[in-house]
Amino acid sequence: MTIHDVLRQQTIELPSWAFGNSGTRFKVFAQQGVPRDPYEKIADAAQVHRYTGVAPRVSLHIPWDLVDDYDDLARHAKEQGVTIGAINSNLFQDDDYMLGSLTHPSATVRKKAVAHHLQCIDVMRATGSTDLKLWLPDGLNYPGQDSLRARQDRLADSLAEIYAALDPNHRLILEYKFFEPAFYAMDIPDWGTSLLHCLALGDRAMVVLDTGHHAPGTNIEFIVAQLLRAGRLGAFDFNSRFYADDDLMVGSADPFQLFRIMHEIVQSGALAPDSGVNFMLDQCHNIEPKIPGQIRSVMNVQEATAKALLVDADALLEAQTSGDVLGANGLVMDAYNTDVRPLLAELRESQGLDRDPIGAYKASGYAEKIVAERVGGTQAGWGA
């Protein structure tokens, strides 16, 4: 297979929430032409696929993307040339969850949180989605606030109930995050905790790795390698961070880290569509336009992937086994320092796409059209 063949097969899932208004706890800057409902979010995501050719799925978030008829939403997606990807649950915007959701000391609250996932599983059935994505905001702010250990037991029981409700073609994908919204102890702070719960649940429970969910300096490619070894890397939330869970455009803060991650993925053969790793963006575009922001992000992933594919695997193995430290590092750096933009432009041309996706999107007039058309109604926002 040529590099073009591999890149042609790569897919990147887009988050519906990237197209709505978003911001920080200080301010949400509203943009014109932002989608007013999930149908318009999907239409915008389809634009990203149209100009990149590698973003054919959209993740939904429940209840932000609540509609009456999910068969109809799935039909709409198909008409736009995309499909529905992972269904994300929401355990962080309900007053009942102040002290936790799946780990809450009260059985009544835990039951409510489990029931929300049954609702998400129904959405999966209607839309043809196969991944239930669960990020748990639960945790403690103060030592002694609750029993660390009892919360793990409650979590295991709640997850087992959810897992038991899945259809045979469904997976439960479980995200971890080392801090925020809780600051003393998150209930799923790291990949080890997520993996232990997945192992207890069964074969269709997999870990989700989000770039922004680690302490500064963490070697993320090591975690990638370890989870791939265990066959439990279910999904990868791409984004970029300088300080915390910044959710900036993937590859913007540290393109070299993204390359190292993609190198590990390529080395393990995990890029293939049947590898079981769902590569998705988990980002917000607070100050930049959203559709071109997503296009740029997809292109950044493609560039890092192309560079990773340029690493001469045979020469690298030889350098590694002969103890050629500088030679091995040089091979990796040579690939990283190659300008792959012409290669990707050629790839797009061979697929009947424009060489310059952002330029083509700008020239299409879609941005002006949505500003003119999307008047009235309430614009969707992160959390709306």
239 vs 267 by CB, closer to Zn ion:
239
Q: Which does 88 bind (CB under 5 to 8 A by kind): ligand AOS, Zn ion, none?
A: ligand AOS
Give the span between the Cα atoms of 19 and 53, in whole angstroms: 18
- What is the footprint of ligand AOS within residues 134-193 (CB under 6 A)? 135, 175, 177
Query: Applying CB under 6 A, does 282 fall inside the site for ligand AOS?
Result: yes
The token pair that represents 296 in the structure block: 């740029």
Residue type for 335, please?
A: A
State yes or no: cis peptide before 342, omega within 30 of 0: no
210 vs 264 by CB, closer to Zn ion:
210
Task: For residue 83, report the phi and psi dihedrals to the nearest 5 degrees.
Answer: -125, 170
For CA atoms 184, 185, 190, 192, give the dihedral sign.
Answer: positive
237 vs 303 by CB, closer to Zn ion:
237
For residues 55 and 142, the answer to whether their CB atoms sit within 8 Å is: no
Residue type for 127, please?
A: T
Number of residues that bind ligand AOS (CB under 6 A): 9
Q: Which does 324 bind (CB under 5 to 8 A by kind): ligand AOS, Zn ion, none?
A: none
CB of 353 to ligand AOS, least distance (A): 29
Among 37, 190, 221, 237, binds ligand AOS (CB under 6 A): 237
Q: Which residues bind Zn ion (CB under 5 A)?
A: 210, 237, 245, 282
- What is the footprint of ligand AOS within residues 201-220 (CB under 6 A)? 210
Give the span between the Cα atoms of 315 and 334, in whole angstroms: 12
Task: Give Cα 228 to chain centroid, integer Å.
Answer: 17
CB of 194 to ligand AOS, least distance (A): 12
| Token pair 């998150």: residue | 186
The token pair that represents 214 in the structure block: 């680690």
Task: For residue 317, report the phi and psi dihedrals to the nearest 5 degrees.
Answer: -60, -40
212 vs 357 by CB, closer to ligand AOS:
212
Among 122, 157, 245, 318, binds ligand AOS (CB under 6 A): 245
Q: Which does 61 bind (CB under 5 to 8 A by kind): ligand AOS, Zn ion, none?
A: ligand AOS
205 vs 328 by CB, closer to Zn ion:
205
Query: Applying CB under 6 A, does 61 fall inside the site for ligand AOS?
Result: yes
Those residues with Cβ within 8 angstroms of residue 353's Cβ, 6 or more apart along the chain or in another chain: 51, 52, 53, 360
Site for ligand AOS, rule CB under 6 A = 61, 88, 135, 175, 177, 210, 237, 245, 282
